[in-house]
Amino acid sequence: MIKRFALTGLGALALMASGAIAIAADEAATIRAALAKVLPDFKPTSVKATPVDGLFEVEIGPQVMFVTGDGRYLIDGAIVDLESRENITEQAQARARLRSIEQVGADNMVVFEAPSAQHTITVFTDIDCGYCRKLHEQIQAYNDAGISVRYLFYPRAGANSPAYDKAVSVWCADDRREALTRAKAGEDMPKRECANPVAEHRQLGELMGIRGTPAIVLDSGDMVPGYVEPKRLAALLEQTSAAN
């Protein structure tokens, strides 16, 4: 988590343990002030209490960390309730993922809606990725299983790569769904340019720690790396729904 923030060139979190923290009127303000010293480019989405006395959950976009009420100590790792065996960190992370994805908005995604949708998944995809293409070849099977598929672009090679340019061309096409299907089938697409969300999609994926594609975010907020065939994915979605 913190390593992903470090990619932006921010300093280490040593300042947080130094005691050089402005005292605020309440714990939330103290925590925000402490984080502002070491993560000045990131504003916490929320700061809220946890079941652990004196420990607070801080959400910054799709990432979650835990900070003590005095703003001095940060915990980056799993916090498990030994009575319920629940992973508090993963639950918080799942909520943060969903909130960040919903902020993108369906209008800024390429969506293949199921006629009778029971579940919605969000897939970070690279047009040239083999398993991404395999997933899309079965898009009708996912829809028939009651799964709507929302695509976000994650060209792994980054900007100025062929996959990135293809993603932009797909977005700028008159029919994005048709263009995406043709591009994933290996067709050469006319190069187009327009205002597009590809860079924002990729940045969100980086903050979520995505390294490979496809990366599937379930409607529970859980993340599943790699291709999952339709029937197995439908079963997994039912399982996570029942657990939540």
Q: What is the pTM of this model?
A: 0.79
Q: Are residues 50 and 159 in the same domain?
A: no
Residue 99 domain-assigned (yes or no): no
Residue 197 domain-assigned (yes or no): yes
Quote the tokens at residue 234: 């439908």
Residue 95 domain-assigned (yes or no): no
**Which of 54, 89, 124 is the last residue before a domain boundary?**
89
Cis, bond preceding 197 (omega within 30 deg of 0): no
Euclidean distance between CA atoms 134 and 152, whole angstroms: 16
* pLDDT digit string, tens, across residues 125-155: 999 999 999 999 999 999 999 999 999 999 9
Residue 22, pLDDT > 60, answer: no
Q: Are residues 191 and 132 in the same domain?
A: yes
Position 238 scores a pLDDT of 93
Domain housing 136: 104-243
By annotation, the residues acting in catalysis are 126, 129, 132, 156
**DSSP code, position 175:** S
Residue 32 domain-assigned (yes or no): yes
Quote the tokens at residue 188: 């050469």
CA 61 vs CA 7, 50, 101: distances in Å? 15, 18, 9
* pLDDT digit string, tens, across residues 183-203: 999 999 899 999 999 999 999
Q: Are residues 115 and 9 in the same domain?
A: no
Residue 53, pLDDT > 90, answer: no
Residue 216, pLDDT > 50, answer: yes
Residue 180, pLDDT > 80, answer: yes
Q: Are residues 81 and 110 in the same domain?
A: no
User: What is the C-alpha radius of gyration for the chain, rounded to an integer number of angstroms?
Assistant: 20
Domain count along the chain: 2
For the chain, give the mean pLDDT. 86
Provide the residue type at 129 as one letter: C
Residue 36 domain-assigned (yes or no): yes
10 Å CB burial of residue 148 (0-12, 13-18, 19+) is buried
Quote the tokens at residue 204: 């969100």
CATH code for position 117:
3.40.30.10
- Taking alpha carbons only, the member of 157, 159, 180 closest to residue 109 is 180
Q: In which band, very low, low, confident or very high, does the pLDDT at 39 lie, cut at 50, 70 and 90?
A: confident
* Greater pLDDT, 53 or 140: 140
* pLDDT digit string, tens, across residues 1-20: 444 443 333 333 333 333 32
